[in-house]
Structure 1
Amino acid sequence: MISMIVCSVDPAKLEKFCENVLMTVGCPCEFVVHDNRETGYGITHVYNLCAAKAKGEYLCFAHEDIFFRTPDWGERIVSLLQRPATGVVGFAGSTAKLAAYSGWGSMKQYTRYNYIQRFRNGSIKYCIANPDKVSASPVIVLDGMCLFMRKEVWAETRFDEATFQGFHLYDLDISMAVGQKYVNYVTNDVLLEHFSEGSYNQPWLDDTVRFHRKWADRLPFYIEKPNPLVSYFREIKMSFLFIRMLMKKRVGSWDFIELCCREHVRRYYWHITSLKLLQRLYKYKRQWRREGRL
């Protein structure tokens, strides 16, 4: 049996989600739902609480804003989870987690996903990346919109309630932890539809920093480690892209952004990205002043 675990804040979305699961799962399942509107617990606490109550051998930690689009998907997921080496199974992940600050999708060449994304403006994007043409792509970290694992794997690792007390980076953390012993996968046999967009904000940034501090001695971490020189230059690129994103999306304090810039320049003073970041630093500083953010 699959135990569908949901941290719910929207009864209408939850009802539609449950209806979709019952119509598509194709195998026995139960729903273990925590209404978080009044308690306001962090998602790691809710997931651990619900997983402990779950009766199923297989656990699904799901957001309530998703639909399964593949009939009888439960049998396919269970078949993958039954492999002793399987850890966490999801729908979007990366074959690498770089040492530079980043989300789950570090770089395009490492990205693996299989889902449909709906946007606020009504547009739809088919996010399909399976370059190896396999039924399940091995990955290091996974996005948390929907995560499957055997209950025994969860019991060995559990979600880190001490470090991640909000709603961010818990997914990268649990998949990184499980990935030290098992193989995580993005399934290409089951298609998911996701109805909300992610957002970058201060809590996300704070948890990103916490994640990288926690796993500093294990990063970078790869499925297949590239040439050291290639790895080094990708770290430079990721550092540059992350800092540029903070500036453009107005995420974090200016002091933090400036600190990241100066650290990048200190490490990679000879690389063109250092000059580009310094140019952007002064450009965005003027913009932030005009906006009253400084």
Structure 2
Amino acid sequence: MISIIIASVKPELLAKVEASISKTIGVNYEVIAIENGDGRMGLCELYNKGVSQSHFDVLCFMHEDIVFKTENWGALVLQIFENNKQLGLLGVAGSQYKSVAPSTWHSFKNEEPELLNYNFIQHFKFSEHKAILEYSNPENALLTNVATIDGLWFCCTRDAVQKYSFDEKILKGFHGYDLDFSIGIGQYFDVAVTFEILIEHFSEGNLNKDWLIDILKVHAKWSSLLPINIRNLSKKKIFFLEKNGFRALIQRMKAEGFTLSEINNVIFQGKKSRVMSFKLLLKIYFFLFKK
């Protein structure tokens, strides 16, 4: 039995996803849809409220603009958790490396596809791209442990969410919740991506300045823990990834109008990481002052 928690903005989208759930889930369930069209609640607050209203031991959180392509996906979710007792969080998109350099859940999508695990159909609302099947399964597995998952759809156990809830104290908007929740749950349980469930998603993420501000908050919170290295990458590989990650971040923060002092504070925060060597720090600062 599954409790489904949805932040609802548009009634027509909610009706569509509820019809898709009813048609495909294959197990007993409840839908807890919390209306938030005026944006009065941040997503962490809303999800925590949904958890408090739920009744079942497996909880799924999902965007409103999705439909399910897999029959009996609810039974699959329950079976995956039953077969993997240490599993706390399950998604359909995730990465096996979470960088020190602030980023999305996937850190280095364009450079390191072998670190990524995902399976979903993506439509595009903010561009003219045609819908595509986003698929990356480097290990050719049905289930792969990851460091982080994407928030379009994920499920967790009640034990997991009771151990680590959504951080509504620092994340009061609509970004960063999935990254923070992944890292938090990952301190106690496994986090994984399943390739047995296919979802169609009708909008891509909007990575605006508000998104970046929330991502910086999450990284400041977990700076001493990062990176999370599920793939056991070498020190040389990590050096290369983090150098390029911070270069991309510096360019993005500069473009968004952050001050030199604000950029420097983010780099300084990264010094807490065990992988932030003096050599890496020099490379990052050299790039910063060159820009």
Q: Normalising by structure 2, what TM-score?
A: 0.87
1:115 aligned residue: 120
Tell me the equivalent position of 1:86: 87
The 8 Å contact of residues 136 and 186 in structure 1, kept in 2 or not, is answered as yes
Matched, 1:97 2:101: no
How big is the shift at 1:246? 4.6
C-alpha contact 1:88 1:184 (8 A) present in aligned 2: yes
Q: Tell whether the 8 Å contact from 1:246 to 1:257 is kept in structure 2 after alignment.
A: no
| Residue 274 (structure 2) aligns with | none
Counterpart of 1:242 (choices 237, 244, 249) is: 249
- Of 164, 174, 199 in structure 1, the residue corresponding to residue 171 of structure 2 is 164
- Aligned residue-pair number: 275
1:231 to 222, 233, 238: 238
AA aligned to 1:171 is D
Partner of 1:21: 21
Cα pair distance change 1:45/1:236, threshold 3 Å: same
Quote the residue 1:288 is aligned against.
none
Match of 2:193 in 1: 186
Percent identical: 31
Check if 1:47 corresponds to 2:54. no
- In structure 2, C-alpha distance between the alignment counterparts of 1:244 and 1:143, rounded to whole Å: 24
Three-state SS of the structure 2 residue aligned to 1:217 is: coil
- Per-residue CA deviation, residues 123-157 of structure 1 (Å, 9 max, x unaligned), is 11111111101111110111111110112211111
C-alpha spacing 1:271/1:25, structure 2 compared with 1 (3 Å): same
Deviations 1:18-43 (A, max 9, x none): 00010111111111111112561111
Q: CA offset at residue 241 of structure 1?
A: 2.5
CA contact (8 A) 2:90 2:193 kept: yes
- Equivalent in the alignment of 2:69: 69
Deviation at 1:242, TM superposition (A): 2.8
Kindly state the Cα deviation for residue 271 of structure 1 after the two structures are TM-superposed.
Answer: 5.0
Deviations 1:201-232 (A, max 9, x none): 22211111111110011011111322222212
* 1:259 to partner: Cα distance: 3.2
Displacement, 1:245?
4.2
Deviates more, 1:69-78 or 1:12-21: 69-78
Shift of residue 270 of structure 1? 6.7
Q: Which moved more, 1:162-171 or 1:199-208?
A: 199-208
Q: Deviations over 1:85-105 (max 9, x none)?
A: 001101111101111111111
Partner of 2:90, secondary structure, is: strand
Separation in 1, partners of 2:223, 2:206: 24
CA distance in 2, matches of 1:117, 1:260: 36
Distance 1:72 1:263 in 2: 46
Extract structure 1 runs of 4+ deviating beyond 2 A. 241-247, 256-264, 266-275
**Paired residues for 1:124-273 under 5 Å:** 124-246=131-253, 250=255, 252-255=256-259, 259=263, 268=280
Is the contact between residue 261 and residue 278 of structure 1 (CA under 8 Å) also seen in structure 2? no
Alpha-carbon contact 2:121-2:134 (below 8 Å) kept: yes
2:6·2:34 contact (CA, 8 Å) conserved in 1? yes
Q: Which amino acid aligns with 1:86?
A: L
- Which of structures 1 and 2 has the bigger CA Rg? 1
Compared CA separation, residues 267 and 203, structure 1 to 2 (3 A): farther
Q: SS of 2:259's equivalent?
A: helix
Taking the aligned partners of 2:266 and 2:155, their CA distance within structure 1 comes to 40
Where does the alignment leave 5 or more consecutive residues of structure 2 unmatched? Answer: 269-277
Q: How many Å separate the matches in 1 of 2:170 and 2:62?
A: 21
CA drift at 1:273: 10
Change (3 A) 1:216 1:5: same
- Structure (1/2) with the larger helix percentage: 1
